[in-house]
Every structure is written in structure tokens, then in C-alpha cells.
Chain A
Amino acid sequence: MTDRAEHCVLGISAYFHDSAAALVAGDKIVAAAQEERFTRRKADWRFPKNAVEYCLSVLPRGAELAAVAFYEDPSQKLDRIVRNAAANAPRGAAIWPKTLRTLQVLNKALPEELMEILPDPRRIYFSPHHRSHAASAFHPSPFDEAAILVVDGVGEWATTSLWHGSENGIEPVREIRFPHSLGLLYSAFTQYCGFRVNFGEYKLMGLAPFGRPVFKNFIYKHLIEVDTEGGFTLNLDYFDFETGNSTLSPLFHRLFKYPPRQPDEPISMHYMNVAASIQSVLNEVMCALAETALRLTGSANLCLAGGVALNCVANSEMARYTKGLRRIWVQPAAGDAGGALGAALDVSRQLPGARSDKGGSGTDTMAHAYLGPDYSAQQIRQALEQYPLVYESYADDEPGFRTAVSEALQGGHIVGYFDGRMEFGPRALGNRSILADPRPRDMLQRANNKIKFRETWRPLAPVVLAEHEARLFDRPLADPYMLFVSQLKETYRSKPNLNQMRAQGLSELAQYLNRTPSKFPAITHYDYSARTQSLTREANPRLHAILTHFFDHTGCPMLLNTSFNIRGEPIVCSPLDAVEAFLNTHLDLLAIGTFLVRRAAQPDRLQKRIGKKKFHAD
């Protein structure tokens, strides 16, 4: 934390999806966290009182809060909602109560909540939604100049926007407006394939490799018209999101000849092909938009944000195939949570006396996304003794700790790993992670069935020693944030591959299970892709030391790394959350701060808790 007295700005995103708060001092990011982590309610949309409280608790000494920045312009959003309701009336009656409620929140609740934090309307700022995203993408990036591409569902009016970032700040270049939205299009297919909108888009992306893009031209013909610059128009006859209680209109169902898949139904080849097709369309449109952004700005660097920028397959396609692209950087909290950070950075630069330290140093200023709360040894000990758990205590940096964790991993144990500051954004990057050996054939199933309680076809991701990554993967770039996919090298692939499995007549997803064609089956998808986290010593010395020890004794330079949470719940935040997750799952070991908690050492009454808790579908 900085001790320098400097103006601080608190950024806030709220009232839509995944609310968050962020604190910046000048250009320096002091703290950022999502509200869901504190309230334990996934993607919590309510005003982030707890995240705000956390951010203000780490206000640097001698600094004062100069401004509060909200990540949207409520006037523009009110304008969009009122105009849209009028334009569509009398359609829209079904969602009228919801429309009114949103109007009331923007008109009344939001200003009141903001004034409670800083009771001075001259120091409360509204940064437009896409501007907030663009600021979150450019200001922390390693570039001193870049094109910026923002793509999401919708904020005020813009759904897609192109910007230019330079030492003078960010300037808008082009935009596409509601209701034409790539994010909404992808969400429509998410709904069609039986996944929850705003939650299940990553499942749709994960489903795509099982299918073939046989509907791609069909989608271009009927649903989205795309020009050579990546500009697009949706055929609104097939969508109902403007006025109805469904994203899809009945015409959409008829177009694909099958009804939307129900969430508990088996996933047939039809839905796999649909997923592959929309992913292919998304890849192509994103690449076209990226090329246009580079051409219009004359830049070779690209920054990305907006919810669609969490689609790591599309990101990788852009990184590999965009003409004229030299370097790419994606805001790790690319969704609405990151808007809080962008708004704060944007407003901070506009305050009187603001100075920018941005110099294109080649490294980003996200502090490896470790921007959330951390907890003292005393706080951790209190959580452990609350039950009480039987635990081992180690001194700081004692080699015995990393040896014990590594040996547990070598022994096939699954480890809940909790250390330091919580990550900001949707990915666990080694401070709130579940770790395991990626090589055993049954590890994916064990982790999915016994720990995560989620669908067994979904792959998990690896954390890889940066110095060994290129030996294992063909990668678009070394990425510390799990925002791109790499391809496993030929040497580490096994048979039968996906085409051979298809040739065997496999037609339902369940038939593919446990047949990942890889020597690292827990972290490789069926198309050999893996969402790698490239780990350096500098980023996370303690985890790096554990992984190095694991590599020294196994020859395997990577671990399975998945978020430390249970299905339907947010990633753990506090030591008590970690203890609860440990007790409600089949985790073998909890490594928390400098303490180790072994499952086998716990008394029977705690062992009996496992499997008792009911989990919500996500």
C-alpha cells in the first residue's frame, strides 16, 4: 500500500450483475473486490456496501476520498429504458414492473447510496458504462498507446465500442448501439442451450469443442448480419429481450427446429453443434472488430474489456489471427465488476492536479489481480479454532510448509489453498484456489464430483511454471490471468482424439466422459486446449515455490488450479469461508496462510459433515 498522501477515488459498480468496489490513489490501484465474496451470494447485484467498506478500510494513511465514481451514467440509461419502452409499447407490458423498478433504482436508490458515502454531489461522478470498461482495459495495461475494444450485453446505449488510448487518455472512435448486441446474441444461445444467462456463457464456450459449427452460415443468414468492419445488425424478430420475459422469441425455437434445452436434460449433439456454431461466429466478428480497431487507431496494441472479453477462446483467436496485432492485453475483471475499477481510474485522471504515472513500462499495474482482502495469522487461527479443527502451524517461509503441500499433491490429494490477498475478477489465480496433480486419469472426475459438485464434462485449468510453459503448450502469449487458451503440444496428446470419438458414433455428451485425449486429462479439454495461468516467481513466490518443489519431484511443471468454491457459491473470501468449504467437500488438505489442516486428522463428528450441505445449481 502507498503511504503517499494523494487523492483517492472510490469506484463502484452495482445494480446489474456482479457489483464491486475499487479504490485508486492517482493511477495506483489500491484495492478492488466483488460484493459477492462478502455476502456469499454469487454475482450479487446489490449495492456493494461490504466491498465499499473493505476498500475504505485500506485508504492510504494521510489520504482522503476525493471522489466517488459510478461505472454508469444513470441519465443515459434512464433515457434508453424510457425510449425503448415507448418505442415498443404496448409490447413490454409483461416486463413493466421490472422496468419501473430499474427506473426507481437509478432515479432514487442509487443517488441516495452514493450520497451516503460522500455527501457532496460535486464529487460524485458518473462514468459511462463503456467508458468505464475502456478505462479498465487501457489504464492498467502495459501499453502507453493502444486500440481498445469493449464488447458486452448493454450498458446505457453502447453494446460494442472502439476506443483509442494514449498519454492523453481514452477517446471514443466507433460504437454499436442497443439493441444490436454481440453479448446479447451469445446470451441468447446460452439460454437456448439450457444454461443461465449471465452465468452460463463459459459453459457454452466449454461445450463448443464437442460440436461442429454446422449452423454458422445459418446464423449469419438469419440472426446477425455482419459487414466487413465487424459492424453488425441483429434480426430482432428472433429475440424478445426488449419486451418479453425471454431473450428468445418463439421464432428462434422454430428456426433451430428444436426447443430450448431444459437445464436438467442431457446435452445432445444438436446443442453441441449450436454451441460450436455461435462460438465460431463470435470468433470471426471479434477478429473483424479487432482489425477495425487497430486500423482506425493506427495502433498495433489492443486492450479488451466487457463481459465478452472473458471468452478466452475468442480472445485467443484474436491474439492468433488479427492482422496487424502485435500485443494484446485483457482486463482480468473484464465484466461489470471491472467497471468499478475503470470508473475510478477514469475519474481520478480528470480531477484537478491529477498526474499520470502511465509510461508503458511493459508490465501491467493490476498487481497480479491480488487486490482483495488478506487476513492475519491470528484471524486464520481464530477461524480454525472456531470448530475446532486439528491443524499444524508453520513459521513464515518455512520450507516444511511447501514440502508438505507439495507432497500431499504428489500423493494425489486435492488441496484447498488460501493465501494472501483475494483475487479481483472471476478467476482464482493461486490465492483462493483448489490445487491438484493434473496427471491422474480420475482427477477431473474427483474434483468435479467430490469437490466442485459440477458437470463432469467441464475441464479445469492449469497453473504452469512460466519457464516451462512453452515446452508443453503452443500458446498465443504467456498469460498470468487465464484469459487465453493454449494448445497442448502433440507429444502430450493421446488417442482416441475427438474426431475418432465422433467416428465411433458418440452422440451425447455423457458418452465422452473420462476420455480426454491427453496425458494431463484433468486440465485439457477435448480439443487439446487449456486455459493456462502462466506463473512467475515474482507474481506469487509461495505458490511458485510449491509448484517448483512439485516439479522437482515429479517432472510435471503444472498443477490443476480451479477456484476455491463450491457449485453455486462465490469464491471463498475469508478464512471462515475456506474452513466451511473444506468441511463441506472432500478436500484432503486445507493449506491456509501458514497452517495445514489435514482431512484425515479431523475428529469423526467433523468428517460426518461431508456431503450434508445442499448446493444450488449455477
Chain B
Amino acid sequence: MRIKDIELLELFLETVCEASESQSQDDDAGTTALTVPGPEANRACSMEQQLGNRANLMEQLADRYAASGQSKLALATRRLARALEEDHLLSSDDGDRHQRLLDYVYPVV
């Protein structure tokens, strides 16, 4: 296992695993049949509106989580945003992403 892999795993444990207690499998997702959509599906908005007063979209998302009382998710998202600033963590995505498509897997992430 490379140092980079260990760093990634640590990040996994410190962020989404920490936040997982606050999330159930179907929390706010996986609505089981046709439902009336929320207002977010109904409009296009500008990058300026999306960013608010934040430097990037992840930080803005963390603010939204915090404002709605989802503190663990907010904390995890802020940590992720900081980690993603470190370019060494993720090498070139080209080959890997190509491999994903070759892997016969639908890339939901």
C-alpha cells in the first residue's frame, strides 16, 4: 500500500465514515416511486448564486449542511474541501477514468 493510499483511507475514515452515523441509507435519497420534485429541479442558477460568498462549491455545500443542522456532514465536507486543495492526493485522472469505463461499470461517482 502506498503512502498516498493510506492518506486516502485516512481521509475516508475521518470524513464520510465519521458522518455516516448521521446518515441512513435512504436519508433524503432513494424515494421509492414518483414524487413531486423539490424546487431545486426547477431552475438554473448562476455560478455566483451557487458560490454565495464562498471560494468553492464544497465550502458552500458545507454551509448549507450546517445551516440545516447536519453538523457531521458539514464537518466532513469541509475536511474534504481542504483535502482536495492538496494536488498531490490525486494524480492524473485520465487513465483511471478511462479504466472505469472499460470496467463495465456504470460510473455513478
A171 at the interface (CB under 8 A from B): yes
Residue pair B58, A87 in contact (C-beta under 8 Å): no
Complex CA gap A434/B89 in Å reads: 47
Q: When each residue 214-233 of chain A gets 1 if its CB lies under 8 Å from chain B and 0 otherwise, what string results?
A: 00000000000001011111
Residue pair A82, B46 in contact (C-beta under 8 Å): no
A83 CB contact (under 8 Å) in B29, B102, B107: B29
A90 at the interface (CB under 8 A from B): yes
Residue pair A89, B56 in contact (C-beta under 8 Å): no
In the complex where A83-B28, A97-B8, A247-B106 touch, is A233 in contact with B33 (Cβ < 8 A)? Answer: yes
Residue pair B104, A196 in contact (C-beta under 8 Å): yes
In the complex where A101-B93, A174-B37 touch, is A197 in contact with B106 (Cβ < 8 A)? Answer: yes
A79 at the interface (CB under 8 A from B): yes
Residue pair B57, A87 in contact (C-beta under 8 Å): no
Residue pair A107, B47 in contact (C-beta under 8 Å): no
Q: Which residues of B lie under 8 Å from residue A230 when comparing CB positions?
A: 34
Question: Which residue of chain B has the shortest Cβ distance to A296 in the bound complex?
Answer: B34
Residue pair B29, A87 in contact (C-beta under 8 Å): yes
A175 at the interface (CB under 8 A from B): yes
Q: Which residues of A lie under 8 Å from residue B17 when comparing CB positions?
A: 89-90
Residue pair B73, A82 in contact (C-beta under 8 Å): yes
Q: When each residue 30-58 of chain B gets 1 if its CB lies under 8 Å from chain A and 0 otherwise, what string results?
A: 11111111001111111110110000111
Stretch of A121-129, A450-458, A532-540 on the interface side? A121-129
Q: Which residues of A lie under 8 Å from residue B3 when comparing CB positions?
A: none
A154 at the interface (CB under 8 A from B): yes
Residue pair A350, B44 in contact (C-beta under 8 Å): yes
A241 CB contact (under 8 Å) in B11, B12, B30, B108: B108
A80 at the interface (CB under 8 A from B): yes
Residue pair B12, A73 in contact (C-beta under 8 Å): no
In the complex where A101-B93, A176-B35, A245-B105 touch, is A74 in contact with B30 (Cβ < 8 A)? Answer: no
A107 CB contact (under 8 Å) in B32, B41, B81: B81
Residue pair A108, B84 in contact (C-beta under 8 Å): yes
The interface size bin for chain A is 35 or more
Complex CA gap A245/B73 in Å reads: 24
Complex CA gap A198/B104 in Å reads: 8
Complex CA gap A100/B51 in Å reads: 20
* Min distance, Cβ B88 to any Cβ of chain A, angstroms: 12
Q: Which residues of A lie under 8 Å from residue B101 when comparing CB positions?
A: 17, 43, 45, 196-199
Residue pair A154, B104 in contact (C-beta under 8 Å): no
Residue pair A83, B93 in contact (C-beta under 8 Å): no
Q: Is the interface of B mostly helix, strand, loop or mixed?
A: helix
Complex CA gap A161/B5 in Å reads: 39
In the complex where A86-B16, A89-B12, A172-B37 touch, is A126 in contact with B50 (Cβ < 8 A)? Answer: yes
Residue pair B30, A82 in contact (C-beta under 8 Å): no
A99 at the interface (CB under 8 A from B): yes
A180 at the interface (CB under 8 A from B): yes
Question: Which residue of chain B has the shortest Cβ distance to A102 in the bound complex?
Answer: B109
In the complex where A80-B29, A107-B58, A157-B29 touch, is A197 in contact with B46 (Cβ < 8 A)? Answer: no
B61 CB contact (under 8 Å) in A79, A86, A93, A95: A79
Question: Which residue of chain B has the shortest Cβ distance to A244 in the bound complex?
Answer: B105
Complex CA gap A171/B26 in Å reads: 26
Question: Which residue of chain B has the shortest Cβ distance to A178 in the bound complex?
Answer: B29
A38-77 interface (Cβ within 8 A of B) = 43, 45-46, 69, 73-76
Q: Which residues of B lie under 8 Å from residue A96 when comparing CB positions?
A: 8-9, 11-12
Question: Which residue of chain A has the shortest Cβ distance to B27 in the bound complex?
Answer: A87
Complex CA gap A347/B44 in Å reads: 7
Residue pair A93, B57 in contact (C-beta under 8 Å): no
In the complex where A75-B60, A80-B29, A126-B44 touch, is A86 in contact with B103 (Cβ < 8 A)? Answer: no
Give the interface of A toward B (CB within 8 A): 16-17, 43, 45-46, 69, 73-76, 78-90, 92-93, 95-108, 111, 114-115, 121-128, 130-131, 153-154, 157-158, 160-162, 171-180, 183-184, 187-188, 191, 195-199, 227, 229-233, 241-242, 245-247, 292, 343, 346-347, 350
**Can you identify 6 A-B contacts, CB atoms within 8 angstroms?**
A131-B43, A172-B41, A174-B36, A180-B31, A188-B106, A198-B106
Lowest 3 CB-CB distances: which A-B pairs, in order? A231-B33, A127-B44, A121-B47
